[in-house]
Structure 1
Amino acid sequence: MATPYKRILLKLSGEALLGEQGHGIDADILSAYADEIKAVKEAGFEVSVVIGGGNIFRGVKGATEGMDRVQGDYMGMLATMINSMALQDALERKGVHTRLMSAIRMEEIAEPYIRRRAIRHLEKGRVIIFGAGTGNPYFTTDTAASLRAIEIEADVILKGTRVDGIYDSDPEKNAEAKMFDTITGEEVLNRRLDVMDLTAFTLCRENKTPIIVFNMNTPNNLLKVVTQSEQVGSTVVWDKS
């Protein structure tokens, strides 16, 4: 089956890097994710990544109780940079050329985010990792993923999770939960399903950017999603047809 995608944005949660640990980064999971990304890159796709910082920031959240929200959000952005640097190192070790671009200027470790430069990196076959969210407080990394995907004209947002797709209820709590192969954005909103935060979801709806939610921890799932070689995950579409 021919794939409609060429340029993708992969959204990963920081918590996914925890593995069985209580905090930090599981080296085996990081390496496995790098292998998945490398396989997609070698298949000819243009790849960009946004990764959260929950595995780092949640570990220090107790220390931020009562802290100013803006200060806490900037700490979260720095946590995403730690994960982004770790993923960049894992990819480079496997021979994948990368660029880490930060929404907050920190030239010693990352390029500043410039849209035209990001697109050029993709055209040259480099994997881009977007760090530090949007660079602004009050916005999640889901919103950063939606914003960057729209800016670089990505064909799809792939949200890698620890569940197989979008369900009508929490599959970790309800064994009878039903998974959707395809679901409209309107139905996601009506059912109040937790796909992305509302700001991120609205950005995708306004720009008709499809979203695919899938299990990143199943080997080869990422490649199957982008090549459309078999049905994997749940796709959010914006037209009822």
Structure 2
Amino acid sequence: MIYNQEQVIQAFKIYSKLAVNGYGDTDELRLYLADDAIRGLVEQFAKEVDCTIFVAGDCIYLIPISMSSPFHISNENIKKTYLPSKATNIDIYVMYVAVIIMFGEFYNSYQTIEPTRDFLSIDDWLLRVNDRILSLKAYDKEELKELEKEYEYNWISIVEKWDAMDDLKEKVKTQDARVSSRLSFLNTVKKFLEAQELIVDIGNDELELTQKAKTIVQRYYMEHEYNRGILEFMYKLEQMKGEKEDAGHF
């Protein structure tokens, strides 16, 4: 398709707005929706930086779909912005596991396309993370090392990091996020997800998914290409643990 100069300029204005803010109002960027040529150009610009564009609710979002994208949030940025000063990449791995589990609770262990619940309490979230980590602990280190090779994920360090968190103060919901406890760690993850406009705190320590989050999960999060099979692994842990225990009875 041949584009005229005005179309290129209008498309670049829309792309620039999305690139700066990560999103734009559909009313403000109505040309993206109304003009196929301009929309195609904007999407080409996004593709060049390993991003995708989608409409969710009243917003248009620019979302990175690979770690090579300049718009991908780096580990260093996450540590600097959201985690305590002594945080390491292992803290980020545990964050990712917590996010996987939280979304999984909304989508029935990733077996459904639409959410099966309206909200999730932080206490329930904590219980589910505990359950998954306990399932990981059912494996000895040699088995986990083999799983690490398969998924390129440091499961041993994740288990050790979670175990090291002090859960004696988990009932104290107002504690500072710097306190080393599982609940305060989840509150740190919560703040990150809120900053990314993926969840909303609706009160009473209950969390609700945003339309942005639902769209991302449905279109990308469940795809093996993007999650490297980690979702399936995390939600097969209980089954694998049961099979392992049954085999031990023979």
Same fold (TM over 0.5): no
TM-score by length of 1: 0.27
Higher fraction of strand: 1
Higher fraction of helix: 2
Higher relative contact order (CA 8 A, sep 6+): 1
Who wins on radius of gyration, i.e. which is larger? 2
TM-score by length of 2: 0.26
